[in-house]
């Protein structure tokens, strides 16, 4: 019987110690509306980077196209036809600034490996010129074709 009382008292004692150490029974110990101040969470998410972007992306600045092209999540070519100067200008929207680019087109067979591709249009025989852009990262390559409407200068 004494052993039974000893076990019960030991369990009550351990339960009391656990309850007190966990903060049970204290008023004001838990606030469901608590929000940490900014300084308390500033390092939790790691370095958040510059607030205005980085060398390749800054949403606050509008700039001229870079000779390297623009970073994008998917390979694309933004091409514009200048009918006054009879010229097509294309800018690469590449997925990595470390990739290799190769441009070509089906009018004058011009080629380039830069982020910007420009060529003159002389006496086009068709109303659409296809510009091709290939981006290679190591041995993996992606290729796209962008049609450019030049019907404004077709005789």
Q: Which residues contact 54 (CB under 8 A, 6 or more apart)?
A: none
The residue ranges of every structural domain in the chain are: 70-153
**pLDDT digits 0-9 by tens, 16-33:** 777 676 655 555 567 777
Bridge-based pairing state of the strands 70-71 and 87-94 = parallel
Q: Give strand pairing partners of 82.
A: 87
The class of domain 70-153 in CATH terms is mainly beta
Full pLDDT tens readout for the chain, 155 residues: 788 787 888 878 877 777 676 655 555 567 777 777 765 555 555 555 555 555 555 656 555 555 677 888 999 999 999 989 989 999 999 999 899 999 999 988 899 999 999 999 888 888 899 999 999 999 999 999 999 998 887 76
Per-residue buried b or exposed e for 32-48, using 16+ beta carbons within 10 Å of the residue's own CB: eeeeeeeeeeeeeeeee
Give the predicted TM-score (pTM) of the model: 0.57
């Amino acid at each position: 019987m004494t052993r039974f009382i000893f076990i019960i008292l030991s369990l009550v004692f351990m339960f009391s110690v656990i309850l007190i150490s966990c903060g049970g029974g204290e008023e004001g110990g838990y606030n469901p509306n608590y929000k940490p101040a900014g300084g308390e969470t500033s390092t939790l998410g790691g370095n958040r980077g510059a607030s205005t972007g980085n060398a390749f992306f800054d949403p606050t600045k509008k700039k001229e196209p870079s000779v390297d092209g623009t970073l994008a999540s998917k390979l694309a070519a933004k091409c514009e036809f200048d009918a006054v100067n009879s010229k097509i200008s294309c800018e690469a929207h590449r997925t990595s600034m470390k990739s290799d680019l190769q441009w070509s087109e089906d009018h004058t067979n011009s080629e380039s490996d830069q982020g910007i591709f420009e060529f003159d249009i002389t006496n086009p025989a068709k109303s659409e010129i296809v510009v091709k852009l290939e981006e290679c990262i190591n041995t993996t390559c992606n290729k796209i074709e962008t049609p450019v409407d030049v019907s404004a200068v077709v005789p």
